[in-house]
Every structure is written in C-alpha cells, then in structure tokens.
Amino acid sequence: MRWWGWGEDGHDAPLSQGALAMLGERIGPLAGVRRDPVALADVLLPDPALPAAARERLVSAVGAEHVRGDRLARVTHAAGRGYHDLVRLRAGALDAAPDAVVYPADADEVAAVLRACAEADVAVVPFGGGTSVVGGVEPLRGAREAVVALDLARLDRLLAVDPISLTATVQAGVTGPALEAALGEHGMTLGHFPQSFEYATVGGWVATRSAGQASTGYGRIDALVVALRVVAPSGEMATRAVPASAAGPSLRELLVGSEGALGVIVEATLRLRPRPTVRRYEAFSFPGYAAGADAFRALVQDGVAPDVARLSDPVETQVSFALSGGPVLATRALTGYLRARGHGDGCLAIVGWEGTSEGVVRRRRATGARMLRAHGAVALGTPVGQAWEHGRFHAPYLRDELLAHGVMVETLETATTWDRLLALHEAVAAALDGALRARGTPPVVMSHVSHVYRAGASLYFTFVARQQEGAELEQWHAAKAAASDAILAAGGTITHHHAVGRDHAPWLPGEVGALGIELLRAAKATLDPAGVMNPGKLIDPAGFDPARPAGS
Ligand SMILES: Cc1cc2nc3c(=O)[nH]c(=O)nc-3n(C[C@H](O)[C@H](O)[C@H](O)COP(=O)(O)OP(=O)(O)OC[C@H]3O[C@@H](n4cnc5c(N)ncnc54)[C@H](O)[C@@H]3O)c2cc1C
C-alpha cells in the first residue's frame, strides 16, 4: 500500500467535474489547488530511540534482516488508515513512529520478541494490514523506553483445511485476497469481506471484531472464529477447537477483540462455507427510512435475511444517485418513476442472496422480495445491485482524491436495538452536523444500515465537509467527540466493528462500566504484566487528543 493513502501507486479514483460541483454546492467552495502529499523524504520523523541492547535481542530473535529501522518501514508503520492518519501522513507531520519494525516468522519468534521487549521495557504494537481507522496501530510507547511495530506479514500460511468440519486453520498475517485464493482451491470461502479486504489480515479482523459486507449472512468474524492461538508476554494460550462449550466463561471471546493489548494472535481456526456459485445482488427503493428499517427487521426476524443487507438514508441515497452519474441510476426516467411512486425522498436498499443452489437462492430471494414489497419497496433490479457489488472496494480510493481537494471525509459506526435505531440515527447525524457547522464547515452527513440482527442493526455514517485548513485534526476531533457522546447517550455501542483502539478508548468506560474496565485490566495484568502490549489503546484512554504528541 502506498505510504500516504490507500492502494498501489497508479490506482487512482479521479472525481468528475460534476461530482466536484455537486460537492461544492453542498459543503461550500472547495480548495482551488490540489493538496498532494509531501515527498517521503520530507516526512518529519523523531529519531529512533531503540536502545542498542534491545535491538540486539530483537536481532537474535528474528535475524538482522527482519529488524528494520529505515524511513519507509517506520513511516508505513506509524499510522493506520483513518482520516486523521491520512491527514498526518499527507502533511508529513508524524509526531511518533516505531523505533523499529520487527518481522517474526512464526509463533516461536513472536514469543521471543515479546520476551525481549518485556525485559527491555519496549512497547509492542501488533501490526496486521495497518488498516485500523481508530488509532489501533498508533506507535504509542506509554511509559516505555521505546516502541516497535510487530508486523505479522511473514505469518501468511493457510495451515489446514478440514472439509468435514468446514474449518480452516490459518496464520494471522494472511490478507483477505490471499486467504480467499487459498480457500478457493478447496472450493471454500470464509465469506468475510470488509471494505478493507484487500489489505487487512485475519489477525487484524479477529483482534478488532471486524464485520464484512456480507456479515448479515455469513456472520461477523467473531461468529466465524472456532479457536485461537495467542502468544502473550506471559506465555501461550490456545483455545480448543470445538463447536461450542460450557466450560466456563469463554476465553476465546476474551481474546477476540483484544486489539493487541493482551497478546498476539498467531493462528485462528475459522468456520468456512462452500464457495457460492449463485449470486443475486439487487436494489430496492423504499418511500422512507422508517419503512425500509421495518422491512429489514421483518426479514431478519422471520429468518429470511439476505446475506448482504444495506439500507441508505435519504441523503446517502441522493448522493449515491448523483455520484453514480452513469446510465444505471442517475437517469431522469428512474428519478421520475420513483417520484411518481412517492419515493421522491426515498431510500436505496441493496440486498444480496448467495449460495450453491440455484433453487435455494431463488426461493430465499423470492420470499425476501415479497416481504420487501409488502413494506412498500419498489424493485430497481439487478444492474444497480451488481454496480454496488462491482464498486464495493472503491470508496477508500475516492477518499484519497477528496483529501487532495481539501475535503474531510470520515466514517464511524454503531449499533443498537431496533426500537432505538431511528432515534440513534437522528442523534448522531445532528451531533455531527452541529459540531461541524459550529466550526463554519457545514457537512453532508449520510448513513446506512449495514448489518441486521434479530435484535437490532448497525448504522454506518459517512460525513464530508470542507477541511479547516491548519486545524484539520481539531475539526475532526470535535466531530468525532460529538458523535461519540451522542452514540452513548442514545443507547448505541461506541463501535460495531471498527474496534476501540485509541480513538474510542475514552468512551469505553461509559459502555462497559468501571468494573468492566477493571476486569479487562486484570486480564491484561495476567497476560502482559510489564504492560508492553499496545499501550494507549482499548483500556488505556491516554491517546485521544490531537493536540498532544502521539508518542507521549
Ligand atoms: C478503507 C477502510 C475500510 C474499512 N472497512 C471495514 C469494514 O468493512 N469492516 C470492518 O470491520 N472494518 C473495516 N475497516 C477497519 C479495519 O480494516 C479493520 O479493523 C481490520 O480488521 C483491521 O485489520 P488489519 O489487519 O489491518 O489490522 P491492523 O490495522 O494492523 O490492526 C488493528 C488492531 O488489531 C491489532 N492487531 C492486528 N493484528 C493482530 C494480531 N495478529 N494479534 C493481536 N492484535 C493484532 C493491532 O494492534 C490494532 O490494535 C476499514 C478500514 C479502512 C481503512
């Protein structure tokens, strides 16, 4: 991945003049000149602070060629891929970077690195794909002398596939495409497709409780984990690969979502499905958000939810229609047709059914579509659904381009029960709007229901505003804090799938309570008594302040 953004060099997503004009109309005039990233050589980096003795121990653990301290390695491990990361990377203003990047080859080398770091008082940040959007891989050292990034890229093998139990055991550093390619050879899939699929890793997914775009059907990653192998400074833990167990509280669940603060996930045994051969992705329009939400609730509560279930609010629907710009959506005929049906302020739903049997997929789809129509939906057909499927990994490339035009674009997510969903939606949208208007940068705030459950659903917000030049991080912080406060006040979770990281840590006590935090700290004290694992994240709210140097 290029060091300042998303994707490989050359994979760009230029915005059309029409899209830029529409954006300018909604959020105010955009910067006339492009704001491109500084050159790598101009990125300001603190001097490396790894004591020589600690470096020697790391070298003896993994070999000299696997302990890197060069500029590229340090910069590419200095930040995740959230908006605030990209702002700092593009400006070349990193106030922290790992003092070294260490690449172990296997679980034994991970254990040796952790031992060395615990003894030498060096913080360790486990690093998968580095796609965290919540400051999860921020190289904070806390009270430690130095900090290293522990990159799991060399733990990249599919270890075993069990076609009888439909499971696979895989090393933590495997990325999405590599995993799906390897499982494809066995006719299997994990079915886990987060938007960061191209770069994120199995270990990162498990450590953050990730959700994929088809998680309504396949289950989130936490539902797909059968067993884990974790190396902590205190030793190794492996949970047993059994389908279910009543052997006390689930230690597997303690390790899923542990965000590198308890130890390093080195292997995961995951549930598989046969690779689908039949896919039907299509779109519907609802007259309003409430009608769409009712329809989605009915689907899931009646046990006929599609594998992909997304319901855009009216703003996101309008922006999707406008941005598509092509023959599929933005035709006058379609808009006129929807208006005539009372869908002038309608909501776009994307639903996808997939499986290995044409007949089963057809029946599931027919039942689902009937139910959606009964809730006022109008079918928009498969081309719209296929267009969504085709472009579903495109947004992060677009984000880089928006940043070049001086546009802030950020996302956040939450979930709550159905009875509170619409109120939560309104509260978060109002909080973001209020916080950004107060800074003179009125935003466009849009949202969609991204996953549905019998008890509720998740909401995924995207907000776009003119950047406040020179105060980009303070602007972001104001919006993020307002939204996070609103989420907790309205009964949502501080995160449905992005994890806690650095950014959400101050809100975790509000969600799990002081005793809950104590319990997590006790687990950390057992597994990581020296406190070297990923300081400033999850249960340590030290880092959420853009005015404060990230390395402190
Ligand atoms: C453009 C974009 C789109 C995204 N879309 C989605 C989405 O659709 N769904 C979703 O859930 N998330 C999404 N994310 C967030 C992010 O991709 C996920 O959190 C992902 O699971 C992180 O995986 P990673 O391998 O990149 O982990 P990293 O970013 O490297 O690490 C994330 C956290 O996990 C820890 N960690 C990583 N590997 C290990 C390990 N082996 N053992 C212990 N701890 C570890 C790190 O220390 C850090 O705290 C998106 C991010 C971006 C930038």
Q: What would the pLDDT profile of 351-368 be if each residue is shown by its tens digit?
A: 999 999 999 999 999 999
- 262 CA closest ligand 1 atom index: 43
Tell how far the Cα of 205 is from the centroid of ligand 1, in angstroms.
Answer: 6
Tokens 């070049």, residue located: 404
* Ligand 1 residue neighbourhood (C-beta within 6 Å): 80-81, 125-133, 136-137, 152, 172, 194-196, 200-201, 203-205, 207-208, 210-211, 259-260, 264-265, 396, 497-499, 501, 534, 537
Give me the residues paired with residue 126 across strands: 150
- Å from CA of 129 to ligand 1 middle: 7
Average pLDDT over residues 274-280: 96
Name the 3-class secondary structure at 29: coil
Give CA–CA dist 514/521, Å, rounded: 11
Spatial CA neighbour of 456 closest among 287, 290, 333, 300: 300
Average pLDDT for residues 291-315, to the nearest whole number? 97
Nearest CA to ligand 1 atom 27: 204
What is the structure's pLDDT at 541? 65
For residue 172, pLDDT over 90 is answered with yes
Q: Residue 323 above 80 pLDDT?
A: no
Do β-strands 188-189 and 264-271 pair in parallel, antiparallel, or remain unpaired?
A: unpaired
Using the atom order of ligand 1, give the atom closest to the CA of residue 206.
21
- Average pLDDT over every residue of 252-266: 98
DSSP 8-class letter at 542:
T
pLDDT more than 90, % of the chain = 84
| pLDDT at residue 393 greater than cutoff 50 | yes
Can you give the three-state secondary structure of 104-171, one letter per residue?
CCCHHHHHHHHHHHHHHCEEEEEECCCCCCCCCCCCCCCCCCEEEEEECCCCCCEEEEECCCCEEEEE
Structure confidence at residue 324 (pLDDT): 67
The per-residue pLDDT for range 438-468, each reduced to its tens digit, is 999 999 999 999 999 999 999 999 999 999 9
> Is 542 a residue whose pLDDT tops 70?
no
Q: Which residue has the higher pLDDT, 383 or 136?
A: 136
**CA distance linking residue 122 with residue 127, whole number of Å:** 15
pLDDT above 80: residue 335: no
Determine the average pLDDT of the residues in 399-427: 96
Please report the pLDDT score of residue 135 as a whole number: 96
26-68 pLDDT, tens digit per residue, is 999 887 788 999 999 999 999 999 999 999 999 999 999 999 9
Ligand 1 pocket, mutate which of 141, 210, 524 (most atoms under 8 A from CB) = 210
Residue 255: which H helix or E strand, with range?
A: helix 251-255
What average pLDDT is seen over the chain?
A: 93
Whether 460 sits among the annotated catalytic residues: the reply is yes
What is the C-alpha radius of gyration for the chain, rounded to an integer number of angstroms?
Answer: 23
Q: Which of 194-198, 239-243, 321-325 has the lowest mean pLDDT?
A: 321-325
φ/ψ of residue 353, rounded to 5: -115, 135
pLDDT at 111: 98
Rounded mean pLDDT of 288-315? 96
Mean pLDDT value of segment 302-308: 96
Å from CA of 335 to ligand 1 middle: 38
pLDDT for 331 equals 55
Among protein residues, the one whose CA lies closest to atom 10 of ligand 1: 210
